[in-house]
Every structure is written in structure tokens, then in C-alpha cells.
Amino acid sequence: MGAVLGYIATLGVYFFIYNIFCLGLNIQFGYAGILDFTVITFMAIAGYFAGVAVLGPPQRGSEIFYILGLNLPWPIALVIGVVAAGTLGFLIGLVALRRLRSDYLAIVTLASGSIVYGIVNNDNKIFDGAAGLVGVPQPYTSIFGFNPNTYTWYFLIICAVMMLLCWFVAERIYRSPLGRTMRAIREDMDVAEAFGKDAFRVRMLAMVLGCMMVGVGGVLTLAYVSALSPAGWSTGETFVIWAALIVGGRANNLGAIVGSFLVAVLFNEATRFLPTIPGDPNLISNIRNMCIGGLVILTLWLRPQGVIPERKARFAELPTAAKRRPPGESLVTLGSVDSVG
């Protein structure tokens, strides 16, 4: 029974973390139409910087190398990781958002992620290269003395609180004038600019906010697993986040949560606990990827708006008097203008 409860708590942790990932991508793609094909890179950068902020300096004579080593408390490390993700998003946005749109924008983000991956993976002086960071202290375990089982439930509460905060921020942005401007730029950038909107500034803001939110999930990921290496933030992880948002429904934060459960938890994480097939240890992971890909294809074919589509504004119908206007009678008569709506 304890193993089952621990399994459920672990899935809950991943559920909330993937919710945060999808909410961040939803601000970028769902709100502003930014095709960020390297969203997992911002998770990794936030996790790395939070890790080197929590860890102490590398010991002399050891074969582990990384920058900083500040030995800071976890809340401060969280802020450092989130700011690092937002800074990287700002730098990529300077190149990708000013002149590029659609496919070209997606290619630049993908190329930028490949550059960051190559630098981190090959230079062991930054984050210990391909080996990555290991043994990162979990928050507050030394203070409260949690064992592995109780720590999972404790961390589940932390993830739930952080997800609710991110969801609250995402909802406030969606309902604000800034959110409406983002969606207007997503639909037609030229028309939005014709009405005086600064498309570059608004999209840059969406890029940075989305990266920072993804960074929150990255810091939580590192705090839970206590390790992070380039093998853990491959292109396939970006695909999982995109699949969750597409299946759940873009520009709808509730849809992002539903997609996180269906794709990231039910298909991606829960299947990792299945026993391996004798003689073919990679069969389960291959079937998992095929199932996620098939689910995305079916969604795009049968319900392209996702399980929970975007909320659209509903405009009031014309007044009854306008409906009863005789055919051929103009709205403008004898120099007066009839008000409509």
C-alpha cells in the first residue's frame, strides 16, 4: 500500500510540474503565437543555475566542475534559476522576434536550443558537461528530516502551490488588456501594429514571461530528482510539452492542465513504471512515443482546437429594432446615425 501511495505521489509531482511547463508554453504559443521549439532548454537553464546556487564550491581534487557554487538557500536559488531562464529567453527573443515569424521563428528557437545544448554538453567547466549536476540538496530535508516517502508528499504540496500561483498569473494575463493584445498580435500582427500596438515589445514580454514560468518547473524538477544532465532535456521532452498543450487546447489554461494529465502523466510518466519486456528493454519507451504521436495526430485531425478549446468572446446580437428595420433602409437617415449595440 505504501508503494502504491508513493507511486501516486510521484505522478502527482510530475503532473504539477508539467502543468507549469504547459502554462509557460501557453503564454508564448497560445497567447502570442510564438513557436518556441526549445522550451525544454529554459527548463534546463533554470535548473542548472538553481543547482549551482544551492551547491557549495566544487571540492579540490575532485573530477566535478561547475561555475558559482554559492551554497544559497533554496528560495533564493529558485529566483536565480527563474531569472536565468528569463534572461536566456530575452537574448533569444532579441534575435528571433524582431524580424522573424512563423516557421523561421521556430527554426531560430530550435537552433538556439541546439547551441546551448552543445555548449553545456561539451564544456565540463560550466555544469560538468555530459555528467551534469548530481547530489543537489533537496529543499529543507536536513531541517525536517524527511525520509524518501514522506518527502514526496511534502514536495507534492510545494509543487501544487507553485502550480496554482503560475495558473493564477497566467489567468490574470489572459484576462488583462495585455493578454488581449497578445491574442490580437497572434491573429494578425500587421493589423495590431496598424492600431498602434508594439508587436515586438508584447511578444518579447510573452517570451520572457513564458520562459520564467517554464524555469519554475525546471527548478522544481531539479529539486525533486537532485540531478540534471543534458540527456534529461533532449528534443523529445520538448515534444511532450507541445503534445500536452495541443491535445489539451491552446490559449486555455484549463486545457493545458488537462493535456498535462493526458500526455505528460498518463502516457509519458506512468508508463515509465511498467516492467521492461525481456529481450527488448526499449519496447515500452518506443510504444510510449508512438502512442503520444498518434494522440497528437488524432487530435489535430478530429479536434484541432484541443479537448478544451480557447474561450472566444461572444458579441451581443443587434437590437430588436435593428432586426425589424425594413429592407433597403439605410442605417444613416437624414443626417442622423442610428446607434447599434
DSSP category for residue 130: G
To which residue does cell 505522478 refer?
Answer: 11
Are 219 and 82 in contact by the 8 Å Cβ rule? The answer is yes
Distance CA 29, CA 35 (A): 6
For the chain, give the number of residues. Answer: 341
The verdict on 121 and 227 lying in the same domain is yes
Do 187 and 246 fall into the same domain?
A: no
Q: How far lies 62's CA from each of 65, 128, 331, in Å?
A: 8, 11, 83
- Find all residues with CB under 8 Å of 123, minimum gap 6, and list them: 129
Whether 224 and 255 map to the same domain: the answer is no
Report which of 126, 85, 122, 26 is spatially closest to residue 220, judged by C-alpha positions.
Answer: 85
- Among 179, 212, 231, the domain-final residue is 231
DSSP letters spanning 228-241:
E-GGGS-HHHHHHH
- Total domains, the chain: 2
Residues of the chain with pLDDT below 70 are 1-2, 61, 144-145, 148, 270-275, 281, 313-341
Distance CA 212, CA 120 (A): 20
pLDDT of residue 318: 44
Same domain, 221 and 264: no
Residues 6+ apart with CB under 8 A from 150: none
pLDDT at position 57, please? 87
Q: How far from 237 is each of 68, 99, 107, 108, 314, CA to CA, in Å?
A: 27, 28, 17, 18, 37
Distance separating alpha carbons of residues 204 and 80, to the nearest angstrom: 20
Task: Give the separation between CA 31 and CA 230, rounded to whole angstroms.
Answer: 29
- 126 and 226: one domain? yes
Same domain, 154 and 280: no
Residue 292 in any domain: the answer is: yes
Residue 68: left (phi > 0), alpha (psi -120 to 50), or beta? left
Region of residue 286 (left: phi > 0; alpha: psi -120 to 50; beta: else): alpha
Residues 216 and 294 in one domain: no
Task: Domain of residue 47: give its range.
Answer: 12-231
By the 8 A CB rule, do 56 and 13 touch? Answer: no
| Exposed / middle / buried, residue 181 (Cβ in 10 Å: 0-12, 13-18, 19+) | buried
pLDDT attached to residue 125: 87
pLDDT of 18:
94
Report if residue 323 sits inside a domain. Answer: no
In a domain, 103, yes or no: yes
Residues 198 and 128 in one domain: yes
Please tell me the pTM assigned to this model. 0.86
In whole angstroms, what is the distance from residue 142 CA to residue 159 CA? Answer: 19
Look at residues 187, 215, 188, 185 and name the one whose alpha carbon lies nearest to residue 203.
185
Residue 28 DSSP code: I
Q: Where is the domain boundary, 231, 253, 271? A: 231
- Residue 258: predicted pLDDT: 92
- Nearest 10 degrees: Cα torsion 171, 107, 42, 225: 110
Indicate the residue among 194, 214, 231 that finishes a domain. Answer: 231
- Give the pLDDT confidence score for residue 274 in this predicted structure: 65
The CA distance from 331 to 251, in Å, is 37
Asked, for residue 28, whether it belongs to a domain, the answer is yes
Q: What's the pLDDT at 339?
A: 37
Residue at 41 is within a domain? yes
* 291 falls within a domain: yes
Residue 85 within a domain: yes
Say if residue 189 is in the same domain as residue 132. Answer: yes
- Considering the domain architecture, whether residues 151 and 275 belong to the same structural domain is answered as no
Give domain status of residue 216, yes or no.
yes
185 and 74, same domain (yes or no):
yes
Q: Cα–Cα distance between 331 and 136 in angstroms, integer? A: 71
Name residue 224's amino acid.
Y
133 and 95 fall within a common domain: yes
